[in-house]
Structure 1
C-alpha cells in the first residue's frame, strides 16, 4: 500500500512551493559576489593538535593555556573576515580565563593525574553554536526580534564542558531559528565554507562547522534535529556525533523543545580530530554517560558491517554524487582488507519515505496531546502574528525581517494536514524494527551523508528534501557519527555517516578513529 492520492498531491505541492521560492530568490535577491580569496594555511602548530592532547600539554606545562587560546584567537581573526562564522567573540574573557588556568596549574604543581580526572579539557578553547545559552552572549538564532537577547546562564551540556575546563571563544552562526540547511539570517548574514567561499557551510550548526573546518577551533558544540550536526560536519570536513536520543540534555537552547522534539533532537560534539569525540560525549552526557559504556573497548574485527548506497530511490531526493558513492565503496573495501570481514550491501525500502516520515513525526503531539509550537509563533517571538504570505510579499520588496527559507517553511507548514498519515507511521515502525534487527549490538552501517557535496550558496532552496539522508536517524533515535574521507576532485570534503544500534555510540566513535587513520581525517583548507 502506498501514499494516498491526497498525500501525493500534498507532497507534490510541497515540492512545487519550494521550487517557486527558489525561483523568487533567484529573481529578487542580490547574487552572491564572486570571491577569489582563499583561506591562508594553518601555520601555528598548536592549531593542529587534538583537544585531549592540548589539555595534556597544558597540564604538563609544555605550553600555557594563554598561548593556546591566543593561537586560536589569531586564527579566527585571520579567517573570520572571509567566513563570517563566529558572530560574537569573548576573546578578552577567554584570555582572562586562560590566565586563571595557568595560575591554577602552577598552584597545583605536578598533580597532572588529578587534574586530568577532574578537568579533562582544562585550558582548551572551544566554539559554541549561537543557539545555546552561553552566559552574557547573544542567543538570537538569527531572529531580528531577538538580536539584543543575552543569555543569563549556560545550557546544561555547555556548562558541563566549561566545568571540565573548556574555554568558550565565542558563538557561531545559524540559520533563522535553526530550521534550514544553510547558515544565513538577517542578523548576522551568511557564513561561507572554508574550502570554497562561494559554497554553503550547512546548517543549522553551520558556523560551528565552518570555524572548525578553517582551523579556528578544535572542538565545538552543536545540536541536531534533522542533520544539523552531521551536514555541517560533512560539508566542512570535520567530525560530528549525533548521539543516542535522550542521553545528552537538550535544554538551554533556542528554540525551546516542544511537542515530541526532545525524542529527536540530539546535542553533541563537533571536532576536527576523532579522538576528541568520546571524551566530549562522556562529559556532555554527565550522569547518563554510564548508559553508553564508553570505557568498553571496541574490537572492530568482531563487528558486523553493512552498507546502504542510497534511499531506495525516493522521487523527492537527489541521486547521490558519484564521488560520494565511490568514497563509501572505498571504506567498505578498506574494512574488508584490514579486518578480513565482509561488508554486506543491503537496502531498506522504507527509506524511500524518509523525508515524509521525518516531517510527519516532527509534527506529532507529545504524550499530553500538545502539538509542537507552530513555526509562525517562533517567528513572531511573542510579538504580532506572522502571516507567511504577507511576509513573502514584503520580502519581494526588501521589507521583511525574515529570510526566504523561514518564510517558505512557514507557508509549507500551513499546507500540512493535521492528521498524520497512518501509512507513514507504519513505514517508520517497520524501518525501526528492521534496522534495529540488522544492527543489534554489534552492527555498523555506512550511509551517505548527503546526496551532494557542499552546494553553492542558496542552492538548497531547490532541494530541501535531501535532508532525508540525515533526518531519518533523528526519528529512529540511533547514534550516528559523521566522518570525513578526504577531498573531492573539486577540493571539497567527502564523508560518510556511520550508524549503530541504540546506546552503541562507542561503535561509531571507534569507527571514526579508524577512518581518520585510514583516510587522513581533517585537511587544512588553506593547504589544498
Structure 2
C-alpha cells in the first residue's frame, strides 16, 4: 500500500533529523574508546549461578543461609556496578537485616519445608527493582532531575507481592528518562552499560534491571513494558523477560502514570536469567489475578501450532533485520521441528509494516471520557512547570539541559504532532488484530524478531528511533510475549527472539522459553573467556 503525502513527508523529515543528529552525536556524544570491548570479571561464586527457585529451596533446607546468598549478590553488585552503573540506589544494610530475619524464621519454623514453600515461595531470595516502581524508602524519579529527592512511600503491588513471598530487594535500577526510550540514560543517574560490551546500550527503559541481571548482580527482577521496555533490554543483555497479558499484573504505583488509553498497553512482568523462574515469578506478581491464566496447565509442546515471521515486511521506519538474527531464528525453527516433530509455518502479515504508525496512534488516543494523555513536556518538568522542548534543544546543544536528547526529541515530536487520528492506521490495526487472533487461537505460538539489530553502541538509537516497533506493536495488540536468549553472535553480543501467544495464553510462551533454554543454552556469563 502506498504511503500518503503526509507519511512521505514524515519519513523525509525523520531522515533529515537523523542526519543532523548523527553530526551532533559524533561531536558531542563520543563514547570512551576504553569502554568498547572491556569485559567484566567472571562469576566466581557458585551461589550466583543458581536459579531463584532452587536458591529458595536451598535456603528452606538450610543448605545455605539467606545472609550468605544476599551477601554474595551484594559482593557481585559492588564488583560490577562501577563498570555498569545499573544499580542507582542500594539498600544493602536493610537487605542483610531482612536476610537474618529469614534465617531466624527458618530456624523457628515447625511446620516443615512444604509449609514455607507454599506460604513463602521466594523466601530469602535477592531481588532487584526497576526504579520506576515504588519501593518504600527508595527513589522514584525515573531519571528526571526535577524529581531528585522524591522517595516512594509505598510498595507497588507487584513489589509488595514479591516481598510478601519472601524476596529481599537489594536496590533500584536505572531507566531511560521517564521510561520512554530504549537506552537507559538520564541526567540524574547517568548512562548504564551493557555487560557484554561496555560501549553498547543495555536497552530501555528497564535497562539497568537487565544489565545487573545479566552481570549476575541479581537473579530475579521486575520490569514494565509499554513499547518493549522489558523485551528489548532482555534481548540486548541475553536474559529472559516476559510481557504479561495486559491487566493481569498491576501497574499501579509506577512513575510516570499512564493516561489516555496507555494503561491498556502497559504490562509489568518478571525478568530473570533462568527460564524456570519465569512462571513462579509471574504467579506471585499476578496475585489474585493469576487465576486469569492457566499457569498450572501442563503444556505439551508437540501439540502446539508454531508460526514464524522473519521481519515486518519492509517498514520504511525500521531497519532491515540483520543476517545474524534471521539466521538464529531459522535455527530455532529447525530445532523446534527436529525436537518436537512439529512443522513451523512461515507466514507473512503485511500490515506489520505499519507497526510504528499503529503504536504511535494508539498511544496518543484519549480515554473513554475523551481525556487525552498527559503531555510529555509536562512530565519532563514535573513537579514544576512544563518543559519547553525547543528551548531545551538549544540548551542541550550548549551542554546545559537537564534532559536527554531522547526526551527532548519526544517533546518536539509531541509539539509538532499531526493531531488528527488516521482512519487508515486504525483500520490496519483492527485487521492486524483480527489476523493474529485467528492465527494464534488458544494453541498457537509465533516467533518474531525482538529488534532489527543486536545491541547498538551508546546513543545510536537516536539514529534508529523507530526500531522498537518490533516490540511496540505487540503492546497495542495486547498479546503475551516471552523474550528468549539464543546465545551470542560473532561480536560476542546476545542474540534472541520474541515468542508470542494469544491473549491470556502466557503459559504457552513460558513453556517454549524453557525448551529454548535447554536447546540454546540460555544466559551466558558476560565475564567468561
TM-score interval, normalised by the smaller of the two chains: over 0.9
Alignment partner, residue 499 of structure 1: 500
Alignment partner, residue 58 of structure 2: 57
Structure 1 runs of 4+ aligned residues shifted over 4 Å read none
Deviations 1:350-393, CA, capped at 9 Å, x for gaps: 00000110011000000010111111000010312311111111
Contact 2:246 2:264 in 1 (8 A): yes
- Matches of 2:200 and 2:170, distance apart in 1: 25
Structure 1 position 400, deviation (Å): 0.9
Structure 1 position 402, deviation (Å): 0.6
How many residues are aligned here? Answer: 528
Alignment partner, residue 104 of structure 1: 105
**Secondary structure in structure 1 of the residue aligned to 2:447:** strand
**Secondary structure in structure 2 of the residue aligned to 1:53:** helix
- Matches of 1:417 and 1:177, distance apart in 2: 23
Alignment partner, residue 415 of structure 1: 416
Structure 1 position 133, deviation (Å): 0.6
Contact 1:118 1:164 in 2 (8 A): yes
**Secondary structure in structure 2 of the residue aligned to 1:370:** coil
Alignment of 1:424-443 (within 5 A): 424-443=425-444
- Matches of 2:227 and 2:32, distance apart in 1: 26
Contact 2:86 2:208 in 1 (8 A): yes
Alignment partner, residue 6 of structure 1: 6
Alignment partner, residue 482 of structure 2: 481
Contact 1:2 1:423 in 2 (8 A): no
**Secondary structure in structure 2 of the residue aligned to 1:464:** coil
Structure 1 position 293, deviation (Å): 1.2
Alignment of 1:460-471 (within 5 A): 460-471=461-472
- Matches of 1:274 and 1:326, distance apart in 2: 23
Structure 1 position 464, deviation (Å): 0.7
Unmatched 5+ residue regions in structure 1?
Answer: none
Q: Does 1:151 align with 2:141?
A: no
Alignment partner, residue 291 of structure 1: 292
Alignment partner, residue 73 of structure 2: 72
Q: Does 1:34 align with 2:52?
A: no
- Matches of 2:310 and 2:74, distance apart in 1: 41
Contact 1:3 1:423 in 2 (8 A): no
Structure 1 position 3, deviation (Å): 4.0
Structure 1 position 20, deviation (Å): 2.7
Alignment of 1:46-445 (within 5 A): 46-109=47-110, 111-445=112-446
Mean CA deviation greater in 18-27 or 461-470: 18-27
Deviations 1:448-495, CA, capped at 9 Å, x for gaps: 110000111111110011000000000000000000001101111010
- Matches of 1:386 and 1:84, distance apart in 2: 27
Alignment partner, residue 16 of structure 1: 16
Q: Does 1:453 align with 2:454?
A: yes
Structure 1 position 2, deviation (Å): 4.3
Deviations 1:388-446, CA, capped at 9 Å, x for gaps: 11111111111111111111111111121111111000000000000110000000000
Contact 1:10 1:416 in 2 (8 A): no
- Matches of 1:10 and 1:207, distance apart in 2: 32
**Secondary structure in structure 1 of the residue aligned to 2:503:** coil
Cα gap change, 1:29/1:324 in structure 2, threshold over 3 Å: closer, same or farther?
closer
**Secondary structure in structure 1 of the residue aligned to 2:38:** coil
- Matches of 2:118 and 2:444, distance apart in 1: 31
- Matches of 1:89 and 1:380, distance apart in 2: 26
- Matches of 2:225 and 2:15, distance apart in 1: 23
Contact 1:392 1:407 in 2 (8 A): yes
Deviations 1:147-183, CA, capped at 9 Å, x for gaps: 1111111001111111100000000011111111100
- Matches of 2:477 and 2:386, distance apart in 1: 34
Alignment RMSD (CA, Å):
1.1
Deviations 1:253-310, CA, capped at 9 Å, x for gaps: 1101111111001000000000000011111111110111100100000000000000
Contact 2:307 2:347 in 1 (8 A): yes
Deviations 1:86-137, CA, capped at 9 Å, x for gaps: 1110000000000000000001046111111111000000100011110000
What is the TM-score of this pair, normalised by structure 2? 0.98
**Secondary structure in structure 2 of the residue aligned to 1:196:** coil
- Matches of 1:333 and 1:271, distance apart in 2: 26
**Secondary structure in structure 1 of the residue aligned to 2:198:** strand
Cα gap change, 1:241/1:256 in structure 2, threshold over 3 Å: closer, same or farther?
same
**Secondary structure in structure 2 of the residue aligned to 1:212:** helix
Cα gap change, 1:493/1:443 in structure 2, threshold over 3 Å: closer, same or farther?
same
Cα gap change, 1:451/1:504 in structure 2, threshold over 3 Å: closer, same or farther?
same
Contact 1:21 1:408 in 2 (8 A): no
- Matches of 1:135 and 1:494, distance apart in 2: 35
Contact 2:201 2:458 in 1 (8 A): yes
Cα gap change, 1:389/1:53 in structure 2, threshold over 3 Å: closer, same or farther?
same
**Secondary structure in structure 2 of the residue aligned to 1:259:** coil
Contact 1:157 1:249 in 2 (8 A): yes
Contact 2:11 2:316 in 1 (8 A): no
What is the TM-score of this pair, normalised by structure 1? 0.98
Contact 1:19 1:461 in 2 (8 A): no
- Matches of 2:98 and 2:405, distance apart in 1: 40
